[in-house]
Structures are given as C-alpha cells and as structure tokens.
Structure 1
C-alpha cells in the first residue's frame, strides 16, 4: 500500500484479555500508532475465536471469524497488541474457510492486512525509535505465536533499544514456551506448571527487575508464577514501556516494585 501513515485508517483489535484484564495495553497501542501518524479506531468487536479454535470447536470459530471479517473489512490494516490473536487471524482464518470460496477470499483479505503491534510499527511503518524513557533493566520473553507464526523477534527489541534509560538483558531460552498456550494450561496443568517453573527461573537469573512480552496471556501466566514464588519482578506488556505509559501497577503485583 502506497498511503502514508497519516492516511492509514487502522482498526485496533483490542483482544479479550486486554479489554477485560489490562486496558492500559490498548491505550498504549493507540498512542504508539497515533504517534506514528495513523488514524486509529477501535470498533465494537468480539473474540477472534482462538479459544474455540484451539479446543477444536470449528463451528464457533467460524461464527466469530465471520463477525471479525465483517467488522474490520473496511480498515486499511488491523493491528493487535497480541501475537496469538494476530496469528489466529493471519494463519488460521483462511484454514477455517478452505471449503467456502466466498468466505475464504474474505478471510485471506483480512489475514493479509493483520499485524502484531511491534511488527506493524517496524515492518510496515518503518518506525525505528519511540519517544519514551524507562529507567531500568528489563528482560524479554518471546511468545510462541508471535515468534513462530508471525516471526516477531527483532521488532520489539529494535524499538526497546530506542527507549531512553532502558537496558535489555536476554534470558536463557527466551524463545521457549512459558507454559500458557491458552487452553493448554487448563488441559495439561501439570506440564504447564513445569514449563512456567523453568521460565520463572530463567527470568529470575537475569536479575532484571522487569519482565516484558507482547502477549497478555503469557504475561499473566508468568506474573502469577513469579508472584507465587515471592519474586518482586514487575511484569509488563512491551507496549506500555514503548509508549511511556508505566503508571499502571505491574501485572500480578499490588504495586509496581522491582529489585532493590
């Protein structure tokens, strides 16, 4: 698309978890997109259907996908502060309608213009830096869907490198699952618990006071484990730091605290 950012009409897919559990992430996403010159709208929306899809309920998945397709069809791009939701739209919507040429065409159209937030900023808009400051050291977790379905790895790190005062320390196995996996954590709780236990140890070993990631499900899962272990590590969505919007208490903590 040849339009400049100031001409791009972006449909923000807020996601269920952001809407219900962490609205500050949605506001941070709006700020980042508007700072980049975009026109941002958040239409009335529903779940993308990922939980139903992961559970094998293709009927419900299709119903929700159809609603999403109709809701966002007129936007230039659709952006989500979640790799798992963006991945569902990009990778799995077309699969849902393999036997329906009409809806397959519509699903392909939506998939082709849907992006995870940091990927859209870097890969589509060419953003190389943000106007934000964060005084401290952070470590970063690569969520499975963002990394494996959307190839998001360098993009958040490139933007974080421009945040004044921020130092990134990489953890061991940053690209290994945190154990959440949506319904996986419910169906296989023992395995999920063992996976997040290993992840929490790797986070703690960095001695970083703050943990960042781009998927709220992963963040809530890791924050819960760190909190249960008594680790005073602040957990945040990367958008909050990139937008300079860190007044909200960290996820899983009564107040935003880090290591002394």
Structure 2
C-alpha cells in the first residue's frame, strides 16, 4: 500500500514536529509513508472566505500531488474535511470534468490520522506510552465535518500510562475558526477563554487535539494565563514512548 503524508501548510510552517511524529508513528507500525514534495495548501482558507474560483488551481495541484497513492493521511480533521467536502464543490464550479473525476476518485482515500489508524490499519494500541494526565478537545471540523467520533479517545485510552480525563462541554468550539479569529478577535478570545477554563478545571497536564490550529489558539491562552497546561497534537502523544513508572 502506497501511503502519502498530507502534512498541511500550518504544520509545515509552524509545527513540523507533528509531521515528524506521524512519520515516526506510521513507520513503527510498518507503514513506509511518503511525502510528495508538490503538495501545498488544501485550499480551505480560500473556500471559507468565498474565493472558490481562486481555489481551483490549488485543488488541481492537490490532485496532481497525491494521485497514484492508495491512501493519504493527514494530522488534521479540518484539512481532511476540506478535501472530502469542499474539493468536489470547487471542481464542480470549475466545470472541468476531468478535475471532477480526479477529485471524486481521490477524496475517498484521504484519511484523518485517527481514521487511518483504526479504519485502514485496524490498530487501536499503537505501542505508545505517555505517563501523564491528558484531556482531549474534539475540534469542530474533526467532529462535525470529518466525523472522527470517538476514534481519538479510543487511541488515547490504549496509550500506556496515560490518564484520560473528560473535558467539560467538550464539543463547544474553541473560538479559533481560522479566518473567524481574524475577523472577530474579541469573540474568538472570549470563546477560547471559556474553553481553557474548562481545560484547567480538569487538572490535566496536557491538552490534546487533532488540529494544531485549535491548539495554537488555546495554547496561547493557556500560556498567557500561566496555567502550566501544555498542548500536544494527538500524533505526538501516539508517537511517544516515554518510560512508565
């Protein structure tokens, strides 16, 4: 099975450790993942702000970069959701039938990380060990667009030494929302403040999520409050092999 890593532009630019964690994790599970150099943005920022015509070349580049792979795995529920739901809209708007066919063939092979581990590899215990108290934030797109369900928490519960505690009002948005946080900064911060208050209430050492965009937002708020809670992407926890007392 040929597997490609769709690292996402945010991770490539700001959180390269997440991409490395995915590679380390998959190699440990016997998957020789490749990194197509031609990949760029999934196009979600353009689509979300109404620039669908401008997103056509981005979708075309995506198809060309990942065609020929049996599976494409990405550490982002948001970007996986964008590819699976928005690319068809963009291709349809372009009236390029060849692009439409290519998108239809490729999108079912695009998987968010937890989906790939549980649904494709059929592995729940990935051999991780992380002796810390953790709470999990289900990001909006992973929950509502991609539909990962309880896959991330199932994976976390299988990690040796990890104590997973419930996050109050977990399904409420963190307030980031991509361009929403730029256009509505005060509302974004207010929503994030509510979320981090619940995080601190759990007593967790680490806040985990499947999207670094949300973790970037919440991590900044947690740092400014000097909460002592650190943030980590799901991939980094699943790749960890710390000594368990």
Partner of 1:101: 97
Query: SS at 1:165's partner residue?
Result: coil
CA contact (8 A) 2:72 2:109 kept: yes
2:5 corresponds to which residue? 12
**Is 1:113 equivalent to 2:109 in the alignment?**
yes
TM-score by length of 2: 0.94
Matches within 5 A, 1:128-139: 128-139=124-135
> For the aligned residues, what is the CA RMSD?
1.2
The answer to whether the 8 A contact 1:226-1:233 is kept is yes
Cross-structure match for 2:229? 233
Listed as ranges, the gaps of 5+ residues in structure 1 are 1-7, 247-260
Task: Output one character per residue of 1:129-165: Cα deviation in whole Å (capped at 9) or x when no partner.
Answer: 0112111100000011111111113111111111111
User: How many residues are treated as equivalent by the alignment?
Assistant: 239
> Is residue 50 of structure 2 the alignment partner of residue 56 of structure 1?
yes
Deviations 1:177-234 (A, max 9, x none): 1111110100111211111011011101101011000000000000011111121101
> Quick check: 1:217 aligned with 2:210?
no
For the residue of structure 2 that corresponds to 1:178, the secondary structure is coil
Q: CA deviation at 1:245?
A: 6.5
| 2:109 maps to 1:82 | no
Equivalence for 1:65: 59
Q: Please state how far the C-alpha of 1:100 moved relative to its aligned partner.
A: 3.2
Give deviations 1:59-95, integer Å, cap 9, x for gaps: 2211111000011011111110001111110111011
Flag the structure with higher helix content: 2
Aligned partners of 1:175 and 1:125: how far apart in 2? 27
Q: Which one of 26, 30, 37 corresponds to residue 30 of structure 2?
A: 37
For the 8 Å contact 2:45–2:179, the answer to whether it is kept is: yes
TM-score (norm 1): 0.89
Q: Indicate if the aligned counterparts of 1:180 and 1:217 stay in contact, CA closer than 8 A.
A: yes
Q: Is the 8 A contact 1:144 1:175 kept in 2?
A: yes
Give the distance between the partners of 2:130 and 2:149, measured in 1 at CA: 20
